[in-house]
A and B are shown apart, each in its own frame.
Chain A
Amino acid sequence: MPLENSKDSRSRFVQLFMSHEKQIYRYILSLMPHSQDAQDVLQETAIALYKKMDDYDPSRPFAPWAFRFAYHMTLKHREKSTRWRRFLDDDLMKEIASRQAMLIPELDQRREYLKECLAEVPDDKRAMLTDYYFEEESIDVIAEKQNKSVEATYKALQRIRKTLMHCIQGKMHASGMSVT
């Protein structure tokens, strides 16, 4: 049954969106791995969902309904860039989307382990992650601060990501969680 067209329904929609927003963002990011593009798609998805909220049937789960919009918004966004057209054909998009859905429980667990792994990162490397992800510094600014070349700084960032991936993987194996 569709939601009633009222402020209550809008409020309910917003609650639903807020509680699924990270999930939708990660879904989009898997299809379009650059954060700026993914954020643009997320915004467009939010607006599309908002406009269509009266079509939502609350007896059904919200995420798959929202994913459909996110998928189409990604398709639309793909057409704006040669790079994304080269990366994503329709078949690959469908494949990534379905694989991502299968991996959701594992990805949730990995995020928990990521927090633990971050706590193990040495201070200087953590500072670099903070500069890049939280302070939103560009690599050249970080390089300048550290008095290193841009190339060396970017390699250092890649190494930290690799270490984190290994750390998470190690914890997954140790916990006996299967990796699909």
Chain B
Amino acid sequence: MKNETIDQLHWETLLNRAVDGILTDKEAGRLSGILRSSQDRMGEYIRFVDMHGSLQHEALLAQAGEVGELVNFESESDKGEIGNIGFWRTMAAVATIAAIGAFTWSSKYAFFDTENPSYEETTYIGIVTSLKGDISTSDHFVGKGLQRGPFKLDGGRAQVRLDNGVKLSIKGPAEFDIFGLDHITLMTGKVTANVPPRAIGFRIDTPDMEVIDLGTEFALRVDPSGESRLHVLEGEVEARKKIGEGLENVPMIIAKDNMHDLVDGPSWLDCNYDPESFAPSPLRDRLIQATDGKLRSLQDPPKDLRYGRFKHDYLMLFPEKQDFVLPRAVEVNLSEPGSYRVLGPGPKERYLKVADEKQRARETMVDVGLVQSVIPAGTRVSSYLVHFDATNKQTDSFRAKGRVRFNGHVLGLILHQQSLSASDDLLGGSDTIYESKAGRHMENDFIRISSDQQQIVMNFEIHGFIDQVRILVAEDLEETLVADILDRQYQTP
């Protein structure tokens, strides 16, 4: 091969590795040297990078109707995100900043016109993910879909998650109005907001203040007298007082890091954090690293999982029995990495007619009776359930897709009705009412287990039954392996 060709190949490899983020430090130095020494290469580089950016950024490859569904792989922990997905997060951040402009409500209007608020539509924009303490007088329940409008909590604590990833922890008694994904008005009570980067610009109005998030977690309290107090737990916010019907001209930027310098600052700022004075930080699930699409991670399990209990179309993922040692072996339907098509008898016939060769080659069809492996007794696991119940939808069928990435290894999935019902007592929550097997029915559903066995992709279809998948996650890989080895030893004749 001529040197020229080798150079060209080397050059192209460098370009590709650069845009894919896999350049070594040494290669980065080489690429830099080439660009400095050749104007032609510089031009090629800019054109190549621009094409790559266009393929990512222009949604040229998006299929109609799909943009906006799997848009954000929301990080649930501090461990970061998955894959090359930050673009959508950025777009959402920008869109949220845009919403600051779009919502040009005057604060007065937002507060004093609540008897007839101008909510834009009645679609769901969030979900209740946790309820604790005395909530007997509340009409809220875990898994309840949230719409624009008033939210009242008489006592106890609640956590909600809005569709832009904002998590609100609420300590009752509290009352607020959800005007949109980017704007709530807190009339009274304690709310702590955790705002992901893509929702920067999220705003909370109170009777005497406006607080706009600039990438942060902040706690707000409105006393019965209508006076607000603010504390910044992470990042920074922009805050200003209301004066008459308007706002102070110059907002104050308050960062967690400069709060100690503001001890003699405005009276509405609580520089010293007293946890009792505010709602606690929103909870995170320790084993869930990130979710996206229509999947929503709940901190508590819903009480009632029988058919027709939920009107929204989220795929709910919630903890069942956590961190315990299996007293007996458990059969799982899927455990190996791969793409699977789970089909009931009717849909199978249709699938075989409709799916082309490529699709069939990509997906492994799963029969009802499949047991891919057995998790041995003695394995330390945590169980999660994904529940999809869009039975209020008027259409014949309804689809939703989502992804979850766990911090631990997924040991197996239980998805067939008999297997689910048979494992409810062992793995399910003790306070949860489960659907009988007749109502659990996978029809034409797609599941992918990633090669590292930490990520599950789901694309579920509803046909008048609920879809459920039970996910068993290893609590301790080392222990799991030991249990596996022991199990094999016992089985050896």
B451 touches A140 (CB 8 A): yes
Asked if residues A83 and B46 are in contact (CB atoms below 8 Å), the reply is no
Q: Quick check: is B43 within 8 A (CB to CB) of the other chain?
A: yes
Q: Given A114-B51, A162-B12 in contact, is the A82-B35 Cβ separation under 8 Å?
A: no
Q: How far is the CB of B12 from chain A (nearest CB, A)?
A: 7
B282 within 8 A of A: no
B49 within 8 A of A: yes
A88 at the interface (CB under 8 A from B): yes
Beta-carbon contact of A88 and B60 below 8 Å: no
Instruction: Report if A34-B18 is in contact (Cβ < 8 Å); known contacts: A29-B53, A39-B89, A144-B451.
Output: yes
Residue from A13, A22, A35, A144 having most chain B Cβ neighbours under 10 A: A35
> Does B52 make an interface contact (CB < 8 A)?
yes
Task: Tell which of A25, A47, A138 touches B215, judged by Cβ atoms closer than 8 Å.
Answer: A47
Q: Report which of A135, A144, A158, A165 forms a contact with B337, defined as CB distance below 8 A.
A: A144
- Point out the residues of chain B lying under 8 angstroms from A103, CB to CB: 43, 46-47, 50
Would you call A7 an interface residue if the criterion is a C-beta within 8 Å of the partner chain's C-beta atoms? yes
Do A86 and B53 touch (CB < 8 A)?
A: no
Q: How far is the CA of A63 from the CA of B276 in the complex (A)?
A: 47
Question: Which residues of B have CB within 8 Å of A7?
Answer: 100-101, 104
A33–B16 touching, CB < 8 Å: no
Q: Which segment, of B24-32, B137-145, B341-349, B467-475, faces chain A?
A: B24-32
A27 CB to nearest chain B CB (Å): 10
Chain A, 47-99, CB within 8 A of any chain B CB: 47, 50-51, 82-84, 86-89, 91-92, 95-96, 99
Q: Which of A1-56 contact B (CB under 8 A)?
A: 5, 7-8, 10-15, 17-18, 21-22, 25-26, 29-30, 33-40, 42-43, 46-47, 50-51
Q: Specify which of A100, A115, A168 is in contact with B60 (CB 8 Å cutoff).
A: A115
The SS class assigned to the A binding surface is: helix
Inter-chain contact A33/B87, CB cutoff 8 Å: no
Give the distance to chain A from B439, nearest Cβ to Cβ, in Å: 31
Q: Report if A136-B42 is in contact (Cβ < 8 Å); known contacts: A10-B101, A144-B337.
A: no
Q: Is A173 an interface residue (CB 8 A)?
A: no
Query: Judging by beta carbons under 8 Å apart, are B97 and A46 in contact?
Result: yes
CB–CB A145/B339 < 8 A: yes
Question: Please, which residues of chain A bring their CB within 8 A of the CB of B31?
Answer: 87
Query: Is the Cβ of A86 less than 8 Å from the Cβ of B29?
Result: yes
CA A30 to CA B53, docked complex, whole Å: 9
Q: 8 smallest A-B Cβ distances: which pairs?
A: A11-B101, A39-B86, A34-B21, A14-B101, A87-B28, A134-B61, A86-B28, A86-B29
Given contacts A18-B98, A87-B18, 11 further A-B contacts (CB under 8 A): A17-B97, A22-B58, A25-B90, A35-B52, A86-B32, A96-B45, A133-B55, A135-B70, A144-B451, A146-B362, A165-B48
User: Which residues of A are at the interface with B, using a C-beta cutoff of 8 A?
Assistant: 5, 7-8, 10-15, 17-18, 21-22, 25-26, 29-30, 33-40, 42-43, 46-47, 50-51, 82-84, 86-89, 91-92, 95-96, 99-100, 103, 106-107, 110-111, 114-115, 118, 124, 126-127, 129-130, 133-141, 144-147, 154, 157-158, 161-162, 164-165, 168, 179-180
